[in-house]
Amino acid sequence: MDDSEFYAQLGRTGLKISKVALGTVNFGGRVEEIEAHKLLDHAVDAGINLVDTADIYGWRVHQGFTEELLGRWIAGSPARRDKIVLATKVGNRFGSEINDEGLSARHIVRACEQSLRRLGTDWIDLYQMHRVDRSVAWEAAWEAMEMLVAQGKVRYVGSSNHAGWHIAACQESAIRGHRFGLASEQCLYNLLVRNAELEVIPAAQAYGIAILVWSPLHGGLLGGALRKLAEGRAVKSAQGRAAEALAVHRARIAGYERFCSEIGRDPAEVGMAWVLSKPGVTAIVAGPRTPEQLDGAIRAASAGLSCAERTRLDEMFPALGEAPEAWLS
């Protein structure tokens, strides 16, 4: 796979990122530190340069643990920092004090400085607002972000889990302040949950904002969950969001796994390849627990799907369409 196939531009920034990002939500609690370091090395060796985390990740051990783990990995070799595009997030509750959450300038700046210390780095490449904070004016959040950019602590700003109209409002606020605005939006999007097609992806495309997709397999549900349950080796797909969805969508998931078997493809690779084939999608954030799972994500980025295969998948998991036409049909 050549570079033109494996890398994409992060929105309007000119920054090149791998179409597969290494997500670190499983680091700490599900993936022990020594194995996490091996995964990071494996990812970099495979050409993956986008590493995505959040200040709260690692909560199974303690909040901030994953950033600390990444910091120890970076410290192991100074060259590592220059090889990766490091993304983290701010906004969810971190601490017990009244102001230890949200997108106030106080919390954004304080959280950024704490993340930098845990990560052991001077700068964050992509600092993402982890959730919407309806109590904060966009102008106030942008002033804090602009200060961090001016200080060299942040290179680009992104959003995560924002609605389409939030993306538009946020970007219009940036435009009024003569700011660059958002580089990316990280959203939930997969065959089973296609809500982002209604407004989030169109809004991002209209403003030239990259779309990074988290949970492209819906917590493992689209990664061969039924087969793994039958074999007694299900992990993520046997708990949480995936387990709840499986109870509702078992028949469709069974049909999906049969289809993947018919075409001789691994369900996880098919699910990720489908997401990467969609207009507006820049990269997927894979959360592997093993190098083999990471290799599957890399294959998904290169193998793609035929037109006939995409049509069949759309029949099994119908598109929602784009608003407002989708509401009128």
Residue 143, judged by CB atoms within 10 A of its CB (0-12, 13-18, 19+), counts as: middle
How many residues make up the chain in this entry?
A: 329
User: Which residues fall within 8 angstroms of residue 210, CB to CB, at 6 or more apart?
Assistant: 8, 9, 10, 11, 17, 158, 183, 184, 185, 204, 282, 283
How far apart CA 40 and CA 46 sit, in angstroms, is 10
How far apart CA 8 and CA 39 sit, in angstroms, is 22
Q: Convert 243-282 to b/e letters by CB count within 10 Å (16 or more is b).
A: bebbeebeeebeebbebbeeeebbbbbbbbbbbbebebbb
Which among 120, 108, 199, 202 has a CA at the least distance from the CA of 157? 108
Residue 134, judged by CB atoms within 10 A of its CB (0-12, 13-18, 19+), counts as: exposed
- Catalytic (active site) residue 57: yes
- The catalytic position among 7, 57, 127, 256 is 57
Side-chain-side CA neighbours of residue 269 (13 Å): 20
Hey, which residues does 186 pair with through a beta bridge?
160, 212
Contact assessment for residue 298 and residue 65, using Cβ atoms and an 8 Å cutoff: no
Side-chain-side CA neighbours of residue 107 (13 Å): 23
How far apart CA 179 and CA 173 sit, in angstroms, is 8
Active site residues: 57
